[in-house]
Structure 1
Amino acid sequence: MRTDELEQYSRKNCIRINGIEEQNKEDVEKKSLDVLQIVCPNVVSSDIENCHRVGKPERGPRQIILRFNSYKSKRKIFSDMKQHKNLPENVYINEDLTKYGSYIYSLTRKAYKSKSISQCWTRDGKVFVRLNPVSEDELGKVKRILTPLDIPGYAPSEEEIIKYCGESMTPAPE
């Protein structure tokens, strides 16, 4: 887990943009900036340290990864996104999560879609959920998700239980 935390820390100034059409000899930074300025009009080219597409060209456009010069610039994007939710259709801006963080977040989104939780989000590479209240005491309760076992309503496989608990939870045969 510690290695994953260190890897996530190295990504703290990065975001990923999905869904921007890809063309030959494109100016990726300009395309990214055009999208970012929809939600955060004050973002400028000098805020971006590096920008490029990642992954293999397959079914759709490849993701764009952006590294900002400062953590503050990255956080401004996400705080402004709360007020401006008018991104083009099928364009998404997300934190740059590690492989493990992406896996955990995908499981929490499934739990959200199945109504096991009322909300899920990431902040600084950490995954959080807002629990469905069972009583008035739990109204709006937030929980950090560290492993699949922490996700309300998620039934982990035997392999996941062994991986995250160190032992099987299945009763031994009699």
Structure 2
Amino acid sequence: MSDLTEIDNPKKAASIRKSVADRVLEALSSSEVLNTIIPILSKQISDTLEPNIEAEVKNCVAEEIQPLLQKLDCQSGIVETQKQQLIKQLSSLQRTTQDQITSNNEREKEINFLYDRVALLKNRLEIQEQYSRRTSLRFNNVPIPTDRIEGTKIVHPVDTDSIILDICNNKLGLDIGIRDIGRSHVIGKLKQGRSQVIVRFISYRTRQLVYSNKKALKGDPNGTFITENLTHFRTNLVKQLATLKYNNKINACWTTDGRIFIKVNANSQKRIINNLNDISDLESDIQQFEERTNINNSEGM
């Protein structure tokens, strides 16, 4: 009864509650109690708050990410559109390029065909031009009348027919007349009172008769000599071959009816020269021969 009475007493009741609270606080301050309660509370709090936090985080992320995803989708659409456009442009460019390559190849074939055709026509024209000169010869270092005062000017008209007949009959020992000459005239510049005279004979036989006796002029005091009337192209070929002969690279060089022949040495077979490629091949052969000779000489030592 006394206990109930104490509880009914307000002051006593307050004192009891305080005492209980102190004991509870004391118990809660105990590390043993805390170590037991905290994990339980943490788990309860975690289980209670985790779904809310997860939902809230998802909402926040969605609010921030959604505009970016929409923008990314939009950009992806633009990129895909541009990609398709570039693919179409690239495909079109490839077709155009291939067409251009095909067209260029066809043009190149056509150009090569035309180039070969032009080269063939030039060769035929050159042959025809040389053939048109088959009855003519050039007399070189022929004394020509000059003025007595200066001695550097030709006195015209020059009777080249008589000059040529004198050379042919008196120096070559032939018997030809004025009727054997179709036309003759001075060509080129005057040098030390001498010049070149080109002669067209009436017939090829007369021309060949004169040319076949040209060796009779060897040692002529005027230095007169006879050559075929070659085209400009063939004259240049002969000049290059003359340089090779001067440098002792070939043994001999001569022309017959406009055709050019050479012999590398006295015992070698004659070789015809038609163009610059033939001269290049000749020079290459000479170089290879010299290299082999040097190697053999070195091994012999």
TM-score range, shorter chain: 0.7 to 0.9
Query: Which residue number in structure 2 is paired with residue 7 of structure 1?
Result: 129
What are the superposed Cα offsets for residues 27-52 of structure 1, whole Å, 9 maximum, x if unpaired? 11111111122114222222111111
Contact 2:217 2:224 survives alignment (8 Å): no
- Matched residue SS, 2:184: strand
TM-score when normalising by structure 1: 0.76
Radius of gyration: which is bigger? 2
Structure with the higher strand share, 1 or 2:
1
Q: Which runs of 5+ in 1 are unaligned?
A: 134-138, 156-174
Correspondence 1:51 to 2:195:
no
Distance change in 2, residues 1:154/1:3 (3 Å): farther
Aligned with residue 164 of structure 2, among 32, 36, 58: 32
Runs of 4+, deviation exceeding 6 Å: none
Distance change in 2, residues 1:141/1:49 (3 Å): same
How far apart, CA to CA, are the structure 2 residues paired with 1:14 and 1:88? 24
Q: Which runs of 5+ in 2 are unaligned?
A: 1-122, 146-154, 286-301
Amino acid paired to 1:13: T
Query: Which residue number in structure 1 is paired with residue 245 of structure 2?
Result: 112
Q: 1:126: how far off? A: 1.0
Correspondence 1:94 to 2:227:
yes
The share of aligned pairs that are identical, in percent, is 27
Structure with the higher helix share, 1 or 2:
2
TM-score when normalising by structure 2: 0.46
Aligned with residue 236 of structure 2, among 95, 103, 106: 103
- Matched residue SS, 1:6: helix
Superposition RMSD on alpha carbons, in Å? 2.2
Contact 1:39 1:86 survives alignment (8 Å): no
Contact 1:40 1:77 survives alignment (8 Å): no
Correspondence 1:144 to 2:276:
no
Amino acid paired to 2:161: E
Choose between structure 1 and 2 for higher RCO, CA contacts under 8 A separated by at least 6 residues: 1
Amino acid paired to 2:268: G
Q: 1:83: how far off? A: 5.2
How far apart, CA to CA, are the structure 2 residues paired with 1:154 and 1:78? 32
